[in-house]
Every structure is written in C-alpha cells, then in structure tokens.
Amino acid sequence: MRAGAGRSITAPALATVELRNQGQPVIGRRIQVAGELGDPRFEIAQGLPRGHSARMGLRERENDGARGVFHDGVSISVNIYSILLKSIVSKQPPSEPNRAVHRLVQWIFEMAEMSRTMRTIGLIGGMSWESTAIYYKAINEETQRLLGGHHNARSIVLSLDFAEIEAHQAAGQWNEAAALLRDAAKTLVRAGASILLLCTNTMHKVASAVAEATDATFIHIADPTATEIRKHGIRTVGLLGTRYTMEEDFYRQRIERSGLTVLIPERQERDDVHAIIYDELCHGLIKDDSRTRYQAIVSSLATRGAEGVILGCTEIGMLPDSRYVNLPLFDTARLHAMAAVAESVRS
C-alpha cells in the first residue's frame, strides 16, 4: 500500500472492525479511539505484518481504498469515521505515527489471529445430556467473552445414548464402552474437530483409548482441574464423583501426579453421592435434601483436612451452592470447557 499525504480527524472516533473469512464475517466489534487519527490507510499499512493489508475509509467520503486479503483467505475491512467530525486536515507527517491508530492495529491483529486460527471443538457428550448442555453454554460464553461481538465457539456435539454407556458401566464392560467413545471421536474428527473433549469424568477411565483414536488434541478433564487447584495454593483436596471416579485409581492418580493429596468420602457418603448423581442429577432433578447432603459431605471432607473439593462428576455442579460451603469448589465441567476454549483460540 502506497504512502501519501495524510488526513486526520481531530475529534474522538469510533472504529468498527470486521474480519471476513471467505466472504463471511467472523469478527465485529466497536471500540472508541480517542485523539487524532493520522491517515488511517498509511498508518494501518505501516502496522501490518508483511504481506497483509487493510481496507480503510472515512465517513465523509465513500469507503474507498484497497481491500487486502490474507494469504490463507481471511480478509480484514476497517471503517474509521468521526462521531463529532470537526475538521479534516491534511499532510500529517508519516514520521509521526499516531498511537491511537497503532493501538487499533495491534487490537485488530490480535483478534484477527484468534479468529483466523480458532479451532473446532468436538464434544463427546450425552453422559448425561444435562452436563453436555452445561459444556455447550460454558464454551460459547467463554468464547464470546474473549472475542466479543457476535462470536461463539466453533464446535460439534456428538451426543451418545447414555443408556448404552451406563449399561456397560454397570456390567463392567469398559472395553465395549471405550469402543463407542473411540467411534465418536473419529466421527467428530472427520466432521472437522481438531480438539476433543470427553464430557464426563467417569469415562476418563478409558481416556487413553479415546485420545489414541485420532490425531486431534485431547484435553484430559483432570489436567485443567489440577492446574486450577494449584493456582489456589491448595495441597489437599476432596473428590466427589461417581463410585468409579472416587474409588478407582484412574482419576485420583492423575490428580495426585500434580503433587496433590486426594481425599474421598466415607463409604456411606460415597454411596449417597453416587446414587444422587444417577437417580437425580442425570435426570435433571435438583432436590433440596440432596443439596444439603452434599454440603454435609463437603464439611466432612473439610474436617478431615480437605482445603477444597473437586466436583468430579460433570453433573455435580448443578447441586452444591458455594454460598453454603466453607471450601472452594472446583467444577470440572466448567474448567474443562474453559481449557478447550483457551486451546481453540490460542495462536
């Protein structure tokens, strides 16, 4: 893009930024840019990475200017116009770059890189569908928070029939259950997913089989959970979940690998936690007496030395009320969802 005589706006300006991918808008946001704006076409061009360009225009004229296209087919179009246009002046020296414009440039390309590289998240869900809905909502809320505008996550949900999975669990047929999950992973990857989430704690018993089924990035649910716990400086943590998750080693050992000590409830407490998950939460039933029971179990874990509690079943976050417990609660479904979004938008 050729440099030339500059123009500037001496009033505050509003910038509308739009990124398009193959003609479809994938990013849009309005931000305030205060102060003088030098010739936006020249200054934007100066701030672009090599091989990139942008379309610029001013409201008092038609939005002329060259439209630039990224090498991968993503193009960016920017319109800058004055809210209170008081004067248009010329010949702003190019040697005096305008800070506001360069802040805008930096923001544009941070957002452009996120959108250009946003990867598709594949969710192996339906275990149960109640928690899959929580995942879907959390993933899209976090993506919108990070990227703004009308953004949501690029995602694909494959919801399995939990009756089949639960029957295999009860019969100890973990290989058969793993085969269903492997097929689901392959289906999602064929559909375009490059990040995979297994939206259940219990079925991470067969996580390695799912992770090895494809070349997609597989995020183990215990890893972002352990990371968040360490951020709180906690060393000993309680674990609530299904009987399989609490009593078998596959989950606890993954957490303990991070240097944490894991406590599980007493036998009757474990029976109650498990029953409430399968008989109530998987059916969307939220009962006050069950909430009270969970809060009592959390208090019992605290008495035994727990400094926080893992909600190690993706439905459990529906139940405890953090206002009535005296320990930090780590909701694995939400932490798993946040980790997927971070991976999706990571440049």
Cα(125)–Cα(158) distance, integer angstroms: 6
Residue 122 contacts residue 188 (beta carbons within 8 Å): yes
Cα(274)–Cα(86) distance, integer angstroms: 68
Does the residue 1 lie in any domain? no
Does the residue 2 lie in any domain? no
Cα(121)–Cα(69) distance, integer angstroms: 26
* SS3 call for 35: coil
**pLDDT at residue 342, as a whole number:** 93
Considering the domain architecture, whether residues 204 and 341 belong to the same structural domain is answered as yes
Structural domain tally of the chain? Answer: 3
Considering the domain architecture, whether residues 52 and 64 belong to the same structural domain is answered as yes
Residues near 66 by beta carbon (within 8 Å), at least 6 away in sequence: 1, 53, 55
Residues classed as catalytic: 200, 313
**pLDDT at residue 105, as a whole number:** 52
- 10-residue mean pLDDT profile of the chain (347 residues): values are 32 38 40 34 35 32 28 34 26 39 53 65 97 96 88 95 97 98 97 96 98 97 97 97 97 96 98 97 94 94 97 90 81 97 84
Residue with tokens 């793993």: 178
CA dihedral over 266, 270, 271, 276, signed as positive or negative: positive
Does the residue 13 lie in any domain? yes
* Domain of residue 26, residue span: 7-117
**pLDDT at residue 248, as a whole number:** 97
**C-alpha 30, offset from chain centre:** 23
Residues near 306 by beta carbon (within 8 Å), at least 6 away in sequence: 236, 237, 238, 263, 327
Considering the domain architecture, whether residues 324 and 236 belong to the same structural domain is answered as yes
What the block records as the tokens of 229 is 């716990």
Does the residue 289 lie in any domain? yes
* SS3 call for 58: coil
Considering the domain architecture, whether residues 132 and 273 belong to the same structural domain is answered as no
Considering the domain architecture, whether residues 126 and 91 belong to the same structural domain is answered as no
**pLDDT at residue 9, as a whole number:** 31
**pLDDT at residue 149, as a whole number:** 82
Does the residue 207 lie in any domain? yes
Considering the domain architecture, whether residues 257 and 317 belong to the same structural domain is answered as yes
Q: Which residues pair with 76 in a beta bridge?
A: 19, 68
Considering the domain architecture, whether residues 272 and 188 belong to the same structural domain is answered as no
Out of 96, 117, 138, pick the residue that ends a domain.
117
Q: Domain containing 166 — which CATH number?
A: 3.40.50.1860
Considering the domain architecture, whether residues 107 and 126 belong to the same structural domain is answered as no
Cα(94)–Cα(19) distance, integer angstroms: 26
Q: Which amino acid appears at position 316 of this protein?
A: I
Out of 77, 102, 117, pick the residue that ends a domain.
117
Considering the domain architecture, whether residues 241 and 300 belong to the same structural domain is answered as yes
Out of 91, 117, 143, pick the residue that ends a domain.
117
Considering the domain architecture, whether residues 164 and 189 belong to the same structural domain is answered as yes
Considering the domain architecture, whether residues 259 and 310 belong to the same structural domain is answered as yes
Considering the domain architecture, whether residues 71 and 108 belong to the same structural domain is answered as yes
**pLDDT at residue 107, as a whole number:** 56
Does the residue 97 lie in any domain? yes
